[in-house]
Structures are given as C-alpha cells and as structure tokens.
Amino acid sequence: MSTRIIELKRSVFESNDERADLLRGELKDKGIFLLNLMSSPGSGKTTTLKATIAALKDKYKIGVMEADIDSDVDTLKIAETGVKAIQLHTGGMCHLDADMTRQGLDALIEGDVDLAILENVGNLVCPAEFDTGASKNAMILSVPEGHDKPLKYPLMFSICDVVLINKIDVAPYFDFDLEKCKEYIHMRNPKAEIIPICAKTGEGVDKFAEWLSAQVEAWKA
C-alpha cells in the first residue's frame, strides 16, 4: 500500500493564535470538525483511532492526518480501516501549529471529509503550546505512564476537552489510582470529560465515539 506523504514547511507566521482562530472559523463555515489528538509516544493514539473509526465510519466521512517526524507506519495502519489517511512529516518539529495543520488539511479535504482527525506528534509538552485550529482537543494518558501526569504536565491537561485513560487492561500490574488521576485532571481542568478505555479490546471506545459524535453534531448545527 502506498501512502501520500506531505513534507510540512515551517510556519513563517508569528501569531499562531490568530492563524488558529482563522482556520477554526473557516472549518466551521465548511462544516468540517477537526479533532486534535495528543499524547506521549506509545499511549495508544493510533490504536484508539482505529477503534473509533470502526465505530463512526458509517456515520461520518472521516479523514486522518498522521503527524510524525519520520515514517509512514501509522498512516498505513489507518489506511487499513478504509478511511482517507495522509502522513505529515514535521521536519524534526515536535508539534504542529495552525499553519502546518492547514497544509495537511488542504491535502486531506481534497476528498470529501466532515470529520478530520489530527494525530499529533507524541509529546506531552510542545503540542499543548500550539493551537492547531482544532474544533476540540483530546488527549490520551495510558496507565503505565502513571496517575500523577496531570500534576507534571499541567498545560496539556488544561487545554483538552476530553482525556482518555487508556490501557486499563494492564491496571492490575501498575500502581495506577484512577480516582486520584481523575481528581488531578479536574484540578487542571474542571470541565474535562474523562473516559477510561482499552483501545486494544475496544472497551469504553463506544463512549468516546458518542462524545465525539455529540461534538461533531454541535459543531455542524
């Protein structure tokens, strides 16, 4: 299977926040919802996306942008689900800003897409600092990373509308305190929705798909 790879150009714009608001407004006018999905490397973004696509692909025209420093492995995995997937190479950057996201979207929405998803570069710091222009931000915290991460990476948790707690199947092997984790997330962001999932088996992914559907409907209304 061949994949389309876009080599992103470094943004020349100074005001990322303004560029992000502009992009968000344009997407709203076109009826396109953009989800920005973030997490540490290996928390389960691609696995969660595959399960979410399976739940929603009959309802929405989904397109996925896989942002990585190199390779096309995630794009190949997403393409297996049958939805449109493109690979974005960040030129060594650890995050995407609004202009880089726009470069990817221009290629993605050449097809007909009403739910666009950006799998951001695996990193809990830089992606939180740059508004991509997304309609909503989502992040994944996986059990092996520990329940104290909201204390250590406050910005990421404060900008996300939903936090998925993934890999709950391995909880018996880790000192992961789910209630403490929820408390710490809500300290950073009282409005954050928290959904425990196991992307590997699909447990809880239906709840995330419901949350996402509700956001897309509200965006298009």
Ligand X SMILES: Nc1nc2c(ncn2[C@@H]2O[C@H](COP(=O)(O)OP(=O)(O)OP(=O)(O)O)[C@@H](O)[C@H]2O)c(=O)[nH]1
d(CA 110, CA 94): 26
Rule CB under 6 A: is residue 47 a binding residue for ligand X? yes
Q: What are the b/e assignments for 42-79, b being 16+ CB within 10 Å?
A: ebbbbbbbbbbbebbeeebebbbbbbbeeebebbebbb
- At a CB cut-off of 8 Å and minimum separation 6, what does 153 contact? 124, 125, 128
Candidates 10-18, 96-104, 167-175, 188-196 — which segment interacts with ligand X by CB under 6 A?
167-175
Selected from 36, 43, 87, 132, the binder of ligand X by CB under 6 A is: 43
* Minimum distance, C-beta of residue 124 to ligand X, in the bound complex (Å): 11
Q: Binding partner of residue 44 among ligand X, Mg ion, none, CB under 5 to 8 Å per kind?
A: ligand X
> Which one, 181 or 198, has the nearer CB to ligand X?
198
Rule CB under 6 A: is residue 52 a binding residue for ligand X? no
Q: What is the DSSP letter of 125?
A: S
Which residue has the CB atom at the shortest distance from Mg ion? 46
The secondary element (H helix, E strand) that includes residue 183 is helix 178-188
What is the binding site for Mg ion (CB under 5 A)? 45-46, 74
What is the binding site for ligand X (CB under 6 A)? 39, 41-47, 74, 122, 166-167, 169-170, 198-200
